[in-house]
């Protein structure tokens, strides 16, 4: 079946460090891929998305490229800030999912220290 | 424009009690969803709705019921609470099945 696997957290970085959070997926067909972010005490917010192979999603300095050959959608940021501390979720959606449901990875907690 | 709102924020239930988790969206979205998030796990779909009067089961519907009498509201009902239902519950909505889902802040439920 369809699934998403993320690198385990927590991830702790110093401010201005480079961030990579790995995400790989298993899916039938051609899924759309997403990164959601959850700040403390808040709901999930869409960070970026990509809907077809080789697309690059980007937002707020974060980027992720849809790699069909490696079934991956790794999240990267060149220089993290304390305000990026949050839980990051990778997710996919395929055309055959129930009502457009999202399938999520387990989430990766990021803590950025000043 | 409040987006998706959920109440309550936190609740403790005793085994066998019942309760309703409220979800309201003010974006006139057709699609609404209930997910649960267990510790260290991703979110899993409980129920979803494609419009007023239409609901369907997700991956983990057992022990829950929903209704959708209006476009705005999509309450989730727990009839006989069990410890396995201890979780964080998120409501989400989207205009169509292919568009961005917007999430509420979540309801943390503890069943003892």
Which pairing describes strands B19-25 and B4-7: parallel, antiparallel, or unpaired? antiparallel
Q: What is the pLDDT of residue B39?
A: 82
Min distance A113 CA to chain B CA atoms (Å): 22
Q: What is the pLDDT of residue B1?
A: 67
Of B41, B58, B98, which has the smallest distance from its Cβ to A98's Cβ?
Answer: B58
Tell me the pLDDT tens digit for each residue of B73-99: 999 999 999 999 999 999 999 998 888
- The percentage of chain A sitting over the pLDDT mark of 90, rounded to a whole number, equals 82
Mutation for testing the A interface, residue in B10, B27, B103 having most A CBs under 10 Å: B103
Per the listing, tokens 């959708």 go with B68
Mean pLDDT of A11-15: 97
Residue predicted with more confidence, A18 or B100: A18
In angstroms, the Cα distances linking A22 to A11, A19, A92 are 11, 10, 14
- Evaluated on CA atoms B33, B38, B43, B46, the torsion sign reads negative
Q: What is the pLDDT of residue A97?
A: 63
Contact A44 B97 (CB under 8 A): no
Q: Mapping DSSP to helix (H, G, I), strand (E, B) and coil, where does residue A75 land?
A: strand
In angstroms, the Cα distances linking A47 to A50, B64, B85 are 11, 30, 29
- The percentage of chain B sitting over the pLDDT mark of 90, rounded to a whole number, equals 88
B50 in contact with A, Cβ within 8 Å? yes
Contact A98 B45 (CB under 8 A): yes
Of A4, A46, A99, which has the smallest distance from its Cβ to B100's Cβ?
Answer: A46
Residues 6+ apart with CB under 8 A from A53: A30, A66, A67, A68
Q: What is the pLDDT of residue B30?
A: 95
Min distance B82 CA to chain A CA atoms (Å): 23
Omega of the bond prior to B8 within 30 degrees of 0, cis?
yes
């Amino acid at each position: 079946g369809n699934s998403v696997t993320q690198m385990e957290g927590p991830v702790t970085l110093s401010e201005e460090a480079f961030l990579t959070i790995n995400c790989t997926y298993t899916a039938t067909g051609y899924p759309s891929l997403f990164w959601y972010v959850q700040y403390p005490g808040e709901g999930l917010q869409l960070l970026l998305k990509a809907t077809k192979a080789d697309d690059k999603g980007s937002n707020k300095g974060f980027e992720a490229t849809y790699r069909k050959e490696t079934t991956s959608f790794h999240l990267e940021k060149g220089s993290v800030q304390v305000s990026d501390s949050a839980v990051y979720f990778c997710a996919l959606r395929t055309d055959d999912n129930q009502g457009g449901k999202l399938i999520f990875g387990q989430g990766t907690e990021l803590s950025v220290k000043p | 424009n409040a987006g998706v709102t959920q109440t309550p924020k936190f609740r403790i239930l005793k085994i066998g009690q019942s309760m309703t988790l409220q979800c309201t969206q003010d974006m006139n979205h057709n699609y609404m969803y209930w997910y649960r998030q267990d510790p260290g796990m991703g979110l899993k779909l409980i129920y979803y709705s494609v419009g007023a009067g239409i609901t369907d089961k997700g991956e983990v519907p057992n022990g829950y019921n929903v209704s959708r009498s209006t476009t705005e509201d999509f309450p989730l009902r727990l009839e006989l609470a069990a410890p396995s239902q201890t979780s964080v519950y998120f409501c989400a909505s989207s205009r169509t099945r292919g568009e961005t889902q917007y999430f509420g802040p979540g309801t943390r439920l503890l069943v003892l």
